[in-house]
Amino acid sequence: MSFEDVMYLLPKSMAKIKLSLIPVVGSTVIEVLNYIDNIFLEKRLCLIEDKLKELNVLSVFIEQLRFLDEHRYFAFKNNLKFLLTSALPETVDVYILALIDSIIGEKQDMAEEVCEVIRQLNSNDMNTLKLLHVNIEEEV
């Protein structure tokens, strides 16, 4: 899908989100528009973009998205689609970090596997992991 196709098909509210202008992201957004309310879709895209800005890696991330090999293209597209349509709210923050690492992190394969693990977590699992994290930090 070309940049022009993405711009034509994207809802106007999504076009203001820089990430949605990248063909792999924009085409995924267009693909999932039938499955989820625009409000939630826009919210999650903004969360991703906000995290990229907070980490000061938005331009690097966008640049890397333009040069994905076939495996990383489809892995990213599948992970993004899951994040936008199916990820439980309790897992969104950590999933976004793993998604970012899968593109620009030093251990991209590991981040891809982390995305797969997070897909299987429910809210009870997340609460347990947070509790473990707090207990471990208190011991240190």
**Average pLDDT score over residue span 117-139:** 82
Q: How high is the mean pLDDT of the chain?
A: 83
64-117, pLDDT tens digit by residue? 998 899 999 999 999 999 999 889 998 999 999 999 999 998 888 888 888 888
**pTM exceeding 0.85:** no
Contact assessment for residue 1 and residue 27, using Cβ atoms and an 8 Å cutoff? yes
12-25, pLDDT tens digit by residue? 656 566 676 677 88
Name the 3-class secondary structure at 1: coil
SS3 track for 113-126: HHHHHHHCCCHHHH
d(CA 16, CA 23): 14
d(CA 123, CA 125): 5
pLDDT of 10 > 60? The answer is no
pLDDT of 40 > 90? The answer is no
Residue 23 is predicted with a pLDDT of 77
**Average pLDDT score over residue span 23-52:** 83
Greater model confidence, 46 or 38 = 46
